[in-house]
Amino acid sequence: MKIILATANQGKIKEFKSYLQGGQVYSYEEVLEPFEIIEDGTSFKENALIKAKAVYEKLSDKEAIVLADDSGISVDALGGEPGIYSARYAGDEANAAQNLDKLIKTLKEKNLSRTPAHYTAAIALVCDAGAFCVHGWMYGHVIDEKRGNHGFGYDPIFEPIGYDKTLGELDADVKAQFSHRSRALKHAKIILKTLKR
Ligand code: ITT
C-alpha cells in the first residue's frame, strides 16, 4: 500500500510516518515537484479534501492513496480562535514560532493563564475509489508560557486533559496515544482496510 501524505508540515510528516509504520509512506514533496495548494475551504474537512484532491490529481500512480491532514487549535475563551486559521494566526507568511508567540500574547492580554482548548484533525483520503474524511479531537488547556520542546506548533503550551505537563514536555509516544491526529487516523485505518489496500 503506497500512501502519499499531502502535507509539507515536517511535524505532521514525522507523526504520520511513525503512526503508519510498516506501510510505504512518502510526503508528496518526495514524489512530486513542489506546487502551491490554496486552502480556501471554510472547515477543516473542506481544507483536508482540497489538499488530498490536489495531490491525487498530480500523481501518475493512481493506485496510491493520498492522505491529507488539516488541523488546528481552538481556544474556547477566544471564540474558537485560531481554529482553521492556526497556520496563519500571525499572518499569511507567519511561521510556527510566530503563530505560537501570537497566541501566548493574546492569552496574556486577556489574563488567561490556563484556559480550555482543543485540537482538531480532519484527515482526508483520496484514491481511485473516491474521497473520504474522518476527524479526531484532543481536549485540554493552553497556558500562557512555553514549556518543553517536544512535538511541534502549539504543543509547548498545550496540556492534555489529565496532565499537568505540556505536549512539549511529554514524550511523543504519550501524544501518540490520544492525539487528534492518531484518533482520526484510527478511523482512517478502518477505511484503508475496507479498501483492502
Ligand atoms: P499542510 O497544509 O502542508 O499540511 P500546515 O502546517 O499549513 O501544513 P494546517 O493548515 O493544517 O497545516 O495548519 C495546522 C496548524 O495547526 C499549524 O499551525 C500547526 O502547527 C498546528 N497544529 C496542528 N496539529 C498540531 C499538533 O499536533 N501539534 C501542534 N500544533 C499543531
Q: Structural domain tally of the chain?
A: 1
Residue 19 has pLDDT above 90, yes or no: yes
Grid cell listed for 49: 479534501
Give pLDDT tens digits for 152-195: 999 999 999 999 999 999 999 999 999 999 999 999 999 999 98
Cell of 93: 507568511
Identify residue 120 by its one-letter amino acid code. T
Which CATH number characterizes residue 148's domain?
3.90.950.10
| Mean pLDDT over each residue of the chain, to the nearest integer | 96
Helix (H, G, I), strand (E, B) or coil at 149: coil
Give 68-113 pLDDT, tens digit per residue: 999 999 999 999 999 999 999 999 999 999 999 999 999 999 999 9
**Shortest-distance atom of ligand 1 to CA 37:** 2
What is residue 8's predicted lDDT score, i.e. its pLDDT?
A: 95
Residue 127: CB partners within 8 Å, gap ≥ 6? 56, 64, 65, 66, 195, 197
Catalytic residues, by residue number, are 70
Q: How far is CA 69 from CA 30, 115, 166, 183, in A?
A: 17, 25, 22, 12
Is 0.75 surpassed by the pTM of this model? yes
Question: For position 197, what pLDDT does the model report?
Answer: 59
Q: Whose CA is nearest to atom 16 of ligand 1?
A: 72
Residues with CB under 6 A from ligand 1: 7-9, 12, 39, 51, 69-72, 86-87, 96, 99, 119, 151-155, 179, 181
* Distance between CA atoms of residues 130 and 172, nearest Å: 32
CB contact at 8 A, 47 and 70? yes
* pLDDT confidence of residue 89: 98
Q: Which atom of ligand 1 is nearest to the CA of 87?
A: 18
Show Cβ contacts of residue 50 under 8 Å, excluding neighbours closer than 6 positions: 37, 38, 39, 40, 41, 68
Containing structural domain, residue 99: 2-194
Whether 115 shows a pLDDT value over 90: the answer reads yes
Look-up of cell digits 474521497: 131
The residue among 32, 9, 48 whose CA lies nearest residue 132 is: 48
- Ligand 1 centroid to residue 191 C-alpha, Å: 23
Distance CA 173, CA 124 (A): 23
